[in-house]
Amino acid sequence: MPAVQLTIDCHDPRVLVPFWCLALDYVPSPPPTGHATWNDWYLSVGVPEDELDLSYDGTDRILDPTGRGARIWFQPVPEVKSVKNRLHLDLFVGQDEDGAKYPYAERATRVRAKANALIAAGATEIGHVTAPEHDRFTVQLADPEGNELCLL
């Protein structure tokens, strides 16, 4: 399988890095070997100081500590998000590690608990589906910058 990195345009990686670490059970990515911080690395590859936020270490990437998931880079851009995402992440928090769904009541409890934790971390709930007759319980959220995600 080829290595994959998702790149998400954003305004402030300092907000999105901890949010998405919580959402995905990821960790901040350490800077490349030989560099104390991501800003040190960016400066070493020629990124001008005026393009960096030097008020923090520049951490703008996260990774799955198990090595199974894609790396994610939160690339700062000057424009703000203005339309619905063409891509969003579905987080399967109502399933076990093998992909089997938990029973409806347990799945709903797990999904709601994760949604509440993400809301406390800055997400906004934008919708939900409660349909036990169809075995469906989902919550749609927007991260602190408005990027959509679904909890299933």
Spans of all domains in the chain: 5-76, 89-151
Give me the pLDDT at residue 2, please: 60
107 vs 93: CA distance, rounded Å: 8
* Residue-wise pLDDT tens digits, 62-83: 999 999 999 999 999 888 877 8
3-state DSSP assignment of residue 128: strand
Work out the percent of the chain whose per-residue pLDDT is above 70: 99
115 vs 107: CA distance, rounded Å: 12
* Residue-wise pLDDT tens digits, 9-66: 999 999 999 999 999 999 999 999 999 999 999 999 999 999 899 999 999 999 999 9
13 vs 85: CA distance, rounded Å: 18
| Cross-strand pairs, 71 | 5
Read off the pTM. Answer: 0.90
3-state DSSP assignment of residue 147: coil
- Smallest Cα–Cα separation from 30: which of 76, 62, 53? 62
- Smallest Cα–Cα separation from 66: which of 118, 112, 11, 26? 26
87 vs 149: CA distance, rounded Å: 9
Task: Report whether 11 contacts 80 (CB < 8 A).
Answer: yes
Q: How many C-beta atoms lie closer than 10 Å to residue 18's C-beta? A: 16
